[in-house]
Structure 1
Amino acid sequence: MQREQAWRFAREADEQPSLGRMNASVPVPLRGSWLRRLLAFAGPGYMVSVGYMDPGNWATDIAGGAQFGYTLLSVILLSNLMAIVLQALAARLGIATGRDLAQACRDHYSKPVSVTLWLVCEAAIIACDLAEVIGTAIALKLLFGIPLLIGATVTALDVFLILLLMSRGFRALEAFVIALLTVIFACFGIQIALAAPSLQAVLGGFLPSPEIVTNPAALYLAIGIIGATVMPHNLYLHSSIVQTRAYARDEEGRRSALRFAVADSTVALMLALFVNASILIMAATVFHGGGRTDVQEIEQAYDLLSPLLGVGIASTLFAVALLASGLNSTVTATLAGQIVMEGFLRLRLPDWARRLLTRGIAIVPVVAVTAVYGEQGTARLLVLSQVVLSMQLPFAIIPLVQFVSDRRKMGALVIPAWLRLLSWAIAGLIVALNLKLLAETVLA
């Protein structure tokens, strides 16, 4: 009871809502067609979907398709369905309580626990930023011949892009993200058309295969796909940005907002499913079908795509999609960093300072590893970043499911018993698989 009183007191005493002036800044029509209202709510789901197709996922999907053909498509589908549930829970928390996940953790847990959660989350954001630096630097090298060392340093300049977008309001930020998602979608749509995979083989890949469990190498990649799919910072991000909509803050308004927010994120994550599945399908068709089952890295895929497909533009489209993915991830990671720092600590840094700090911490190891070990070292660093993300995941999922299952916090929007069981089952599965992936990576 004391904790619940502290929760309510914190909510009443904290005058600064999540994301400050951007909270409730996007108008939504009170009446009108369902489609018109959905379009008003559309945006947060697409920003969240960026984390499900960032450069950190690419290597796993490429390796999975090259080694095992279409077999692991069922794993991508399963992980995407779990992500849809978890992101819906994050949106529910933000809409029902008016708190983002970081604020909710600060209100509920003791200060030492909150500080620990904040430190772990900051490590995850830096790891995510690390993957984005590497991915963007690789794309710049592939497209423009910029050395990886210089490309990693150049990524710091994106702070000015973020500042420009933030100054124009939240809708401008969303429009930028959606535009780049459209580029990624179009690039992979063209690549799939060029690869011309067997429809029957693709559909068969979405059905679970015993090989996933019986083959240790396939199981390892399957765990990697699931472990790299749900990004911990996305749960903090989504619980905050759904509150940018100016819906009525009463029970009816919240119920309506929740329906549209879940529809928005579900549609957006189905787009992420298409992109991740496309990477694997392309690798299965081009590399596995061409006998190149050894392909595991992004640069290998780029070098082989055009020769194996016989179309010069194929590799260029691949690199353009990678660059768009890296730039998009930059925006969402910056915003997530702001939400986490403000939510846990009530510490508000200027946007430019926060961005330069996070990006600087990510650039240093990339530059150091590239200088010492060469470009091959960055591939191992990319894997390490995904392991760090896996380590943080339980610290985000467990509090989220705990909060949305508590009627004293959620009121009428508490999740029903069947969803509670499903949510804990998903949380348990993801945590177990991530711990297994971590153990195998450390012991390898």
Structure 2
Amino acid sequence: MRLTPMLGPAAVAAIAYVDPGNVATNLTAGATHGYLLVWVVVAASLVATLVQFQAAKLGVATGRSLPELCRERLPRWASRTLWAQAELVVLATDLAEFVGAAIGLRLLFGMPVAAAALVTAAVSMVLLELRRRGRRRFELLTVAALLLVGAGMLYDVVTVGHQTAAGLAGGLVPRLDGAQSALLAMGIVGATVMPHAIYLHSALTRRLEPDGPARRRPAALVRRALRLDCGIALGGAAAVNVSMIALGAGLGALTAGAWSGDLADAHEQLAARVGGGAALAFAVALLASGVSSSGIGALAGDFVMEGFLGRRIPTRVRRLVTMLPAVAALLAGAPLTTLLVVSQVVLCFGVPVALFLLVYFCRDRAVMGGLVNAVATTRVAAGAAFVVAAAGLCLPVLLLW
């Protein structure tokens, strides 16, 4: 039995792990603390891999997405409440991703933020149309976007220099250095484990078995395929995130601490101190991050409404409605950094909900059948969920302090 038909969905979910929120947080961490927080990126990525594996397994085992299971097995009032918070998560995701794409377009073409917002909206609609024309095409495009972001960051890491293998290895030792590093560590965790990616991944894998829930393939084969898919995609995303910290550390050393992590300023510093090629690679990577993750957020929004409410509206109509707040904020000239902070605060409240719902269903043999979590897996997943939830819920307090 071939594994190939089950590979691909994790790459789509992985785009959420290299969105503009990750770029901003990791670059700032590298600029201000060098390699100190590399261990946080690695630990958060391991948790993310476990979480996405659970989400993928849930979809394959049940033939249902996580929102659909909530609608079928929870009281109606609970399903409606969960839908409301999930919609807020999708809106906040759109906000961060539109900001990143707008910055990328401005850096590349000098485009005003308002025009950049409209261009991003149009491109995200094109991505959704591509999804309608075939799953594989969409998955290949997201893999290309992930590779483009990684290639841009790696090129800049190499050209900027000022990195050391010893410094990178030292960053794998868990430690913090004051309140600011603790805040950035929580920000990295909050930007890495994304609630909308959980809903999305469970929906993408629910139809991998054409005859419904996974009963035709042996459970061991399914687990192996999903582990491979999540390992490759999330491992790639982790490498990209580590390269962002390395780039931030290199720029911080190159500028002797004069650069603090601002995205637009990073582009200027690269152009002035390294060259136009490095600045171009950074702008293209940021644009690819914002545009591709915006399309993924829109797709997640479709699955959220369909799952929690059991209703569908035309994709184009829904996309227009959900992106309006982000576009309106950019057209109104709201500060980009403030928009990013607000989006991360909202996302922090959505993380615990998605994680605990996932653990709740994956531990239940009546739901999961042969793909049910082992007791040890449930304990590890529950522990990780508590840690991530605590970090996520503390982050808004510190951000708004």
TM-score range, shorter chain: over 0.9
Q: CA deviation at 1:39?
A: 3.6
234, 251, 260: which one pairs with 1:295? 260
1:62-102, Cα deviation, whole Å (9 max, x unpaired): 11001100111010000000101111111111111111100
2:353 counterpart SS class: helix
| Residue equivalent to 2:330 | 366
388, 394, 399: which one pairs with 1:436? 394
How do 1:320-359 residues align onto structure 2 when only pairs under 5 Å count? 320-359=284-323
Aligned partners of 1:202 and 1:163: how far apart in 2? 39
2:256 counterpart SS class: coil
170, 191, 194: which one pairs with 1:204? 170
How do 1:17-416 residues align onto structure 2 when only pairs under 5 Å count? 30=1, 37-196=2-161, 197-209=163-175, 212=176, 214-246=177-209, 249-251=213-215, 253=217, 255=219, 256-292=221-257, 294-308=259-273, 310-368=274-332, 370=333, 377-416=335-374
Question: Contact 2:271–2:279 at 8 Å: present in 1 too?
Answer: yes
Q: Identity over aligned residues, as a percent?
A: 36
When the two structures are aligned, how many residues end up with a matched partner? 398
**Which consecutive segments of 4 or more residues in structure 1 shift more than 4 A?**
247-250
Aligned partners of 2:14 and 2:86: how far apart in 1? 19
1:392 counterpart SS class: helix
Q: Which runs of 5+ in 2 are unaligned?
A: none
Q: Whose Rg is larger?
A: 1
Q: Tell me the amino acid that sits aligned with residue 131 of structure 2.
A: M
Q: Tell me the amino acid that sits aligned with residue 330 of structure 1.
A: S
1:199-221, Cα deviation, whole Å (9 max, x unpaired): 12112212223xx1x51111111
Q: CA deviation at 1:347?
A: 1.0
Aligned partners of 1:203 and 1:119: how far apart in 2? 43
1:206-246, Cα deviation, whole Å (9 max, x unpaired): 2223xx1x511111110110111111011111111113424
Aligned partners of 1:360 and 1:257: how far apart in 2? 40
Report which stretch shifted further, 240-249 or 355-364.
240-249
Aligned partners of 1:406 and 1:250: how far apart in 2? 16
Aligned partners of 2:128 and 2:92: how far apart in 1? 22
Aligned partners of 1:88 and 1:159: how far apart in 2? 26
Q: CA deviation at 1:360?
A: 1.7
1:360-386, Cα deviation, whole Å (9 max, x unpaired): 232112222x1xx5xxx1111111101
Question: Contact 1:91–1:258 at 8 Å: present in 2 too?
Answer: no
Task: Supply the RMSD in Å over aligned alpha carbons.
Answer: 1.6
Q: CA deviation at 1:250?
A: 4.6
Question: Contact 1:156–1:360 at 8 Å: present in 2 too?
Answer: no
Q: CA deviation at 1:289?
A: 4.8
Q: Tell me the amino acid that sits aligned with residue 111 of structure 1.
A: R
Report which stretch shifted further, 290-299 or 74-83.
290-299
